[in-house]
């Protein structure tokens, strides 16, 4: 159905026009709305682990945006003395192009934690690349895991 026929039906009958518009919108493929944040994304240090510069850490993090607003985060950080890793479960809200991610703020003395929501604009420079912009988290590119 074309836009022109939708306009013509709108003039003839509001009910027919509404039905035609619903049919027109239903025909739009899901990917036309743009890439989805769902799935797992990884961000890795720009240099190989074996070539970690002195005083720097190699690291990677994988965030998985699951159904029903659940997410898991796995982080690994390595320096010349060894590696450390941790995982976190959290929540997210996705309202294109903004994602809100649950996080924790530590007090300056390190004794109190406060739950917060971090707001980030999401940019998809390619189908398997994601960048978080204007937010607390790193703006380095993320790569979709397959």
What fold does the segment set 39-144 form as a domain?
Lipocalin (2.40.128)
Predicted pLDDT at 124: 97
Q: Tell me the whole-structure pTM to 2 decimals.
A: 0.72
Residue 35 has a pLDDT of: 87
CA dihedral 143, 77, 65, 100 (to 10 degrees): -100
Contact 135, 119 (CB under 8 A): yes
> Please, what's the b/e burial string for 11-45 (b: 16 or more CB within 10 A of its CB; e: otherwise)?
eeeeeebeebeeeeeeeeeeeeeebebeebbebbb
Ranges in the chain annotated CATH 2.40.128? 39-144
What is the predicted pLDDT for the residue at 75?
96
- pLDDT in the model for residue 81: 82
Return the pLDDT at 13. Answer: 56
Low-confidence ranges of the chain (pLDDT < 50): 1-10, 15, 17-32
């Amino acid at each position: 159905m074309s836009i022109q026929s939708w306009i013509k039906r709108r003039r003839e009958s509001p009910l027919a026009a509404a039905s035609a518009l619903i049919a027109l919108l239903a025909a739009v493929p899901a990917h036309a709305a743009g890439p989805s944040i769902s799935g797992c994304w990884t961000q890795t240090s720009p240099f190989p682990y074996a070539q970690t510069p002195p005083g720097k850490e190699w690291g990677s993090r994988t965030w998985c945006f699951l159904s029903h607003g659940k997410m898991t985060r796995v982080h690994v950080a390595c320096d010349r003395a060894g590696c450390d890793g941790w995982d976190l479960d959290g929540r997210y809200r996705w309202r294109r192009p903004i994602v809100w991610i649950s996080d924790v703020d530590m007090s300056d003395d390190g004794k109190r934690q406060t739950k917060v929501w971090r707001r980030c604009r999401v940019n998809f420079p390619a189908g398997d690349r994601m960048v978080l912009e204007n937010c607390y988290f790193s703006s380095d590119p993320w790569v979709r895991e397959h």
